[in-house]
Amino acid sequence: MYANYILAVPGVWSIILIVVVVLLLFGGKKIPELMRGLGGGIKEFKDATKEDSDKSNKKVEE
- Cα 24 from Cα 31, distance rounded (Å): 11
Region 53-62 average pLDDT: 62
Domains and CATH numbers, the chain: 2-61 (1.20.5)
Taking the whole predicted model, whether its pTM rises above 0.85 is answered as no
pLDDT digits (tens, 9 = 90+) for 31-56: 888 889 989 999 999 988 887 776 66
Using the CB atoms, write b or e for 17-32: b if 16+ within 10 Å.
eeeeeeeeeeeeeeee
